[in-house]
Amino acid sequence: MTLRNRAKITAFSATLLFASSAVASTDTLLIKEQSYNIYHVIKNKTLLNVTNQLTNLSGVMFKISADLEDDVINLKLVADDWGTAIGYLLKDYNFTIETKNSTIKTVLVTGRHGSGNTVKKRLEKEDRLVLVASDFADEIPGKYKRFNTGSVFNVTLPLEQLNDIAVGDGFILDLPSGQYNVKHDNQIEHADGSSTWVGYLDDEGQGYRVYLSQGEAGVIGNMYTPDGAYNIDTVDGQTVLIDIDKSGLDFARYDHDEAEATPELWR
């Protein structure tokens, strides 16, 4: 069985699991968090790092006073729109929003107020952190260039680090789309030498899954979070993370190497 065919099966199985989990009682602990337009978990990051991530996700530019850049942020952004999310992120700060045609374009953060004067300045060391970093050195692979801005990220995925995590162990998975406590609950080795790594989002519930299939061509997979589903693909050695809802990508396009967004979403 080829890597892509197995990924298709994995994706189909994941779809069934996710669909059944979404309607399950919260008593089963499959779903601890319901779906949201914006669900972004921030653990032990500087304000500058957080706003850089949000710029990539939302298109909003942040201008921050230099003495605020190293403030340490730990919170969960849950909102229906970016205006609400930004307001909650900056609840301890003085800030001004600039808009154009009712769309937020720029946020100016000038100082702290109230409880913001006690913001921590020192990052805590994370012993179990797996960083999936955005890679801005290379262009997005050609087959994804017509997808909506902010829906496809080049990333570096530390597979060796993931493979070193024993089944049953947990860690923080740091993605461009947010941070999650992930529990590794299965590792499947296949006869052709490839493997499938399986885990779930511990804080959000076992209905939110992570599937990564690794073979000679690279890694492909799926991830399900309260703010939507993501595909992971490898194109000519470059790993990409695709926000399915934003991109217009049909869910399980693993029959062919080419993926196309729906024409109405092309820009």
pLDDT tens digits, 160-191: 888 889 999 999 888 878 889 999 999 988 88
Buried-exposed string 255-264: b where 16+ CB fall within 10 A, e elsewhere: eeeebbbeee
Task: Using DSSP bridges, classify how beta strands 103-112 and 61-64 pair: parallel, antiparallel or unpaired.
Answer: parallel
Is the model more confident about 129 or about 251? 129
pLDDT given at position 162 = 86
**Bridge partners of 107?**
62, 97
The answer on pLDDT for 256 being more than 60 is no
The answer on pLDDT for 239 being more than 80 is yes
pLDDT given at position 137 = 56
pLDDT given at position 82 = 94
The answer on pLDDT for 149 being more than 80 is no
Give me the amino acid identity at 66: A
The answer on pLDDT for 251 being more than 80 is no
Question: Which range (76-85, 143-152, 182-191, 204-213) has the least confidence?
Answer: 143-152
pLDDT given at position 160 = 82
d(CA 258, CA 152): 15
Residue 247: pLDDT band by 50, 70, 90 thresholds? confident
The continuous run of DSSP H or E covering 258 comes out as none
Identify the DSSP state of 216. T
The answer on pLDDT for 232 being more than 60 is yes
Buried-exposed string 57-85: b where 16+ CB fall within 10 A, e elsewhere: bbebebebeeebeebbbeeebbbeebbeb
Give me the amino acid identity at 209: R
Cα-trace Rg, the chain: 19
Using CA atoms in the order 246, 250, 256, 262, what is the torsion angle rounded to 10 degrees?
-70
Cβ atoms 241, 177 nearer than 8 A: yes
The verdict on pTM exceeding 0.85 is no
Instruction: Give the pair of three-digit tokens for residue 217.
Output: 């061509």
The continuous run of DSSP H or E covering 11 comes out as helix 3-22
* Residue extents of the structural domains in the chain: 3-34+126-265, 38-118
What rounded mean pLDDT belongs to the chain?
78
Question: Which range (7-16, 178-187, 193-202, 215-224) has the least confidence?
Answer: 7-16
| Owner of token pair 């939302």 | 58
Instruction: Give the pair of three-digit tokens for residue 184.
Output: 């590794």
Please write the tens of the pLDDT for every residue from 30-88: 877 788 889 998 988 899 999 988 988 888 999 999 999 999 999 999 999 999 999 99
Instruction: Give the pair of three-digit tokens for residue 158.
Output: 């530390």
Residue 147 to residues 64, 105, 242, 247, Cα–Cα distance (Å): 30, 21, 9, 5
Residue 138: pLDDT band by 50, 70, 90 thresholds? low
pLDDT given at position 267 = 33
102: left (phi over 0), alpha (psi -120 to 50) or beta: left
d(CA 159, CA 267): 33
Is the model more confident about 4 or about 232? 232
pLDDT given at position 90 = 95
Closest CA to 56 of 203, 181, 154, 187: 154
17: left (phi over 0), alpha (psi -120 to 50) or beta: alpha
**For domain 38-118, which CATH number applies: 3.55.50.30, 1.20.1440.230, 3.40.50.2300, 1.20.120.1200?**
3.55.50.30
pLDDT given at position 253 = 44
pLDDT given at position 126 = 58
pLDDT given at position 193 = 82
